[in-house]
Structure 1
């Protein structure tokens, strides 16, 4: 197989995703802080998964440094809990990585 510049870029792009972590923090959200948290999520491209009267649960997949930065910005609001995965990879198609 020939590997050209485009193929190399594609392969590198595929491996970039393997360095991401998935975090799902739940943060306290009062009526007065909800807008600020939503604005922060918009700026950081973070998805809001769940909304309750007292909390917002968000989902983000990014490099550890970006996740830690986002969590530091959330801390003043009060982080209730966090679920975090490690590095993950799954083979596409019918084949498996075994």
Structure 2
């Protein structure tokens, strides 16, 4: 089962390496990981998507992450209402004859063309992973030259409060 874990961490050298090592030492594969600045200075937000066999594993991962020195907060948001997005850049083979067909595919997905070359288009698409997967399947017959995806980034919808974290951020 796919689980989404968010972490807030001190923005210091080596933090990401220690977190990913924790996963690899226990032989857990990270499907996607994104890291970026949070709303607090000096604090970064990490979103990990992992595929685990049972709930006990995710509980164990969460406990181990909470033991890390620079980890401020760990939350499994999988079973809550979340906003999650991924970004994909896709370079597709394109001739003047196929551009209108490709445009017709792009429109319903609310994707945009961000670069046009003599024989290719670069398409930017954001959304949930399933949406991106569906678009990639539709565009494959035209020939994908390059593909880059960011991985999922997510947090809770609206004003929900996290309930399963053991550390809290203190602002001094």
Judge same fold: TM > 0.5, yes or no.
yes
- Structure with the higher strand share, 1 or 2: 2
User: Displacement of 1:24 after TM fit?
Assistant: 0.4
Is 1:35 the counterpart of 2:96? The answer is no
TM-score in terms of structure 2 length: 0.41
Aligned to 2:123: 58
- Structure 1 unaligned runs (5+)? 1-11, 90-96
User: Displacement of 1:55 after TM fit?
Assistant: 0.4
Aligned to 1:92: none
Is 1:83 the counterpart of 2:148? The answer is yes
- Structure with the higher helix share, 1 or 2: 1
- Structure having greater relative contact order (Cα 8 Å, sep ≥ 6): 1
TM-score in terms of structure 1 length: 0.70
User: Displacement of 1:39 after TM fit?
Assistant: 1.2
Higher Cα radius of gyration: 2
Where do residues 17-36 of structure 1 align in structure 2 (5 Å cutoff)? 19-36=84-101
- Structure 2 unaligned runs (5+)? 1-80, 155-168
